[in-house]
Amino acid sequence: GQSLEQPSEVTAVEGAIVQINCTYQTSGFYGLSWYQQHDGGAPTFLSYNGLDGLEETGRFSSFLSRSDSYGYLLLQELQMKDSASYFCAAGAYGGATNKLIFGTGTLLAVQP
Amino acid sequence: DTGVSQNPRHKITKRGQNVTFRCDPISEHNRLYWYRQTLGQGPEFLTYFQNEAQLEKSRLLSDRFSAERPKGSFSTLEIQRTEQGDSAMYLCASSLGGLAGDTGELFFGEGSRLTVL
């Protein structure tokens, strides 16, 4: 089957660092993406790992370990505007298909 | 605005009626996806087009759902004989696939919210 697991909720304070973990079980896996979605908004792309290791984009970093079927998103210097849902998504090939399978999401609440 | 456009943004219908949603992807994108999202859940894959060819349809999708992408440009998603369980946000996304490889980046529209009474 295809499944991704991530914590349902995380709470942190402004200025702190938070890590959101994701484990996946996906056939045809080729990479792990992260998306942010504010309440009522569209999912927006944050980061992608096609290879093992760390990718850094400003305050956000993402990590992938294929051998462990595991990844995480690291958010540094948290700001109130980072309060949103965060989804990991596994890229999967299947025949002629190329699609993203999304996790159930982690609701991040940043407190002052 | 050259992003992904969806309409209508909101649709309220009575059970048993048919509804159709339209998606206009970013113009140069050859890949188009439909996802469904309910409250507190992640986007759930429905179907995938590469140009005008529908290459996959989720097994979770009943025969009441049909999607088209004539000429490889805009796409429509039709739901026939709607049921209350169809109430959700229907998201369209597009991307550019090619020899450069896959980057895991989809560009989503704002979605079409369906409420079935």
Q: pLDDT tens-digit profile of B24-68?
A: 999 989 999 999 999 999 999 999 999 999 999 998 788 999 999
Nearest to B45 among A42, A50, A101 (CB): A101
CA dist A91 and A66 (Å) reads 13
- pLDDT for the residue numbered B102: 74
Q: pLDDT tens-digit profile of A27-41?
A: 889 999 999 999 989
Q: Do A42 and B35 touch (CB under 8 A)?
A: no
Q: Which residues of B touch A95 (CB under 8 A)?
A: 55-56
- pLDDT for the residue numbered B101: 61
Q: Which residues of B touch A94 (CB under 8 A)?
A: 56
- pLDDT for the residue numbered B98: 64
* pLDDT class of A73 with cuts at 50, 70, 90: very high
Nearest to B106 among A45, A95, A105 (CB): A45
- pLDDT for the residue numbered A81: 97
* pLDDT class of A42 with cuts at 50, 70, 90: very high
More confident residue, B11 or A99: B11
Q: Do B106 and A98 touch (CB under 8 A)?
A: no
- pLDDT for the residue numbered A2: 83
The total number of residues shown for chain A amounts to 112
Q: Do B102 and A102 touch (CB under 8 A)?
A: no
Residue of A nearest to B34 (CA): A99
Nearest to B50 by CA among B95, B20, B5: B95
For residue B71, pLDDT over 70 is answered with yes
Please provide the distance, in angstroms rounded to a whole number, between the alpha carbons at the two ends of chain B: 33
What is the 3 state secondary structure string of B64-100? CEEEECHHHCCEEEEECCCCHHHCEEEEEEEECCCCC
Interface of A with B (CB under 8 A): 4, 30-33, 41-45, 48, 50, 87, 89, 91, 94-105
Burial class (CB in 10 A: 0-12, 13-18, 19+), B67: buried
Q: Do A99 and B56 touch (CB under 8 A)?
A: yes
Percent of chain B with pLDDT over 90: 83
